[in-house]
C-alpha cells in the first residue's frame, strides 16, 4: 500500500484527513465517553504528517535568536503536545460534516503548496480551511506546517499570542502557558451543554 507521505501533497492531505475523520466518526461513542481519545487520534493520524519542528520554530520567528539554545528541545517537545491539544480541540466539533477538497493538481518543482478544503454542515455556514505544506529537502516528504481556518493562520495567531510573552517573560513563560493548555481536560461541545 502507498504511504500517505509518498503521495502528491493534495492527495496526501485528502488521505490523511479522510482517515482521521473516518476514525473520529467510527470511534464517536468512545470519544463521547472519553474525549481524551481525540488526543490519541491526533497523535496517531495527524502528527506523523505535521512538521511540528518547523512550525515551532516559525512561531518563535525573530525571537528565536533570543531563546537560550538549551531551551529549544523542551520548547519543541511541549509545542508538539500543544499542537496535538490544539487539533484535538478543533476537531472535537467534528460531527460527520462533509469535507470537500480542491481538485488534485500536478506538482512540478514546487517546495510549498496550499491545499484548500471546505467543511460543509447543513446546520451551519461552510468553513473554509487550508493546509500549508512544505517539502523536506532531505527526505522529499510533504508535511503540513500550518492550518488556516476562515483566513486565520494558526501559526500567525500563536506567534502573535506568544510574542509579547516571549519579550516580557521569556521562553519558560511560553512553555508554561502551553503546558497549562495541555493539562486541561478535553471537553466536547455536546458535553459542555450538559454541565
pLDDT at 2 over 50: no
CA 81, 170, 39 angle in degrees (round to 5)?
A: 10
pLDDT at 194 over 70: no
Ranges of H-type helices in the chain: 9-26, 28-33, 37-41, 52-60, 72-91, 154-169, 171-183, 189-194
Q: Which residue has the higher pLDDT, 60 or 188?
A: 60
pTM of the model: 0.88
Nearest-angstrom CA–CA distance, 175 and 184:
15
Q: What is the per-residue pLDDT across 97-129, written as a single tens digit (0 to 9) for each?
A: 788 998 888 888 889 999 999 988 888 888 888
Q: What is the mean pLDDT of residues 22-30?
A: 92
Q: For 162-180, b where at least 16 C-beta lie within 10 A, e where not — what string?
A: bbebbeeeebeebbebbee
pLDDT at 41 over 90: yes
* pLDDT at site 95: 74
Residue 166 contacts residue 63 (beta carbons within 8 Å): yes
Q: Give the pLDDT band (50/70/90) at residue 19.
A: very high
pLDDT at 3 over 70: no
Q: What is the mean pLDDT of residues 76-96?
A: 88
Q: Give the pLDDT band (50/70/90) at residue 188.
A: confident
Q: What is the mean pLDDT of the chain?
A: 89
Nearest-angstrom CA–CA distance, 126 and 128:
6
What's the chain's length in residues? 195
Q: What is the mean pLDDT of residues 41-63?
A: 94
C-alpha grid cell, residue 38: 481525540
pLDDT at 183 over 50: yes
Residue 101 contacts residue 115 (beta carbons within 8 Å): yes
* pLDDT at site 190: 62
Nearest-angstrom CA–CA distance, 21 and 87:
12
Beta carbons within 8 Å of 112's beta carbon, 6+ residues apart: 132, 133, 134, 135
46 SS3 class: helix
Residue 162 contacts residue 176 (beta carbons within 8 Å): no
Nearest-angstrom CA–CA distance, 125 and 90:
16
Domains of the chain: residue spans and CATH: 7-186 (3.10.450.710)
Amino acid at each position: 500500500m502507498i504511504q500517505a507521505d509518498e503521495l502528491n501533497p493534495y492527495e496526501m492531505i485528502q488521505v490523511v484527513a479522510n482517515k482521521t475523520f473516518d476514525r473520529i466518526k467510527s470511534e464517536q461513542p468512545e470519544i463521547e465517553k472519553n474525549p481524551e481519545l481525540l488526543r490519541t487520534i491526533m497523535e496517531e493520524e495527524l502528527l506523523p504528517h505535521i512538521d511540528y519542528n518547523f512550525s515551532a520554530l516559525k512561531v518563535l520567528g525573530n525571537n528565536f535568536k533570543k531563546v537560550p539554545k538549551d531551551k529549544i528541545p523542551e520548547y519543541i517537545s511541549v509545542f508538539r503536545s500543544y499542537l496535538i491539544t490544539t487539533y484535538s480541540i478543533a476537531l472535537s466539533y467534528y460531527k460527520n460534516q462533509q469535507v470537500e477538497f480542491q481538485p488534485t493538481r500536478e506538482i512540478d518543482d514546487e517546495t510549498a503548496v496550499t491545499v484548500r478544503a471546505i467543511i460543509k454542515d447543513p446546520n451551519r455556514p461552510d468553513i473554509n480551511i487550508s493546509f500549508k505544506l512544505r517539502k523536506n529537502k532531505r527526505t522529499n516528504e510533504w508535511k503540513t506546517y500550518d492550518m488556516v481556518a476562515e483566513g486565520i493562520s494558526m501559526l500567525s495567531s500563536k506567534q502573535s499570542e506568544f510574542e509579547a510573552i516571549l519579550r516580557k517573560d521569556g521562553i519558560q513563560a511560553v512553555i508554561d502557558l502551553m503546558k497549562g493548555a495541555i493539562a486541561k481536560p478535553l471537553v466536547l461541545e455536546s458535553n459542555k451543554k450538559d454541565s
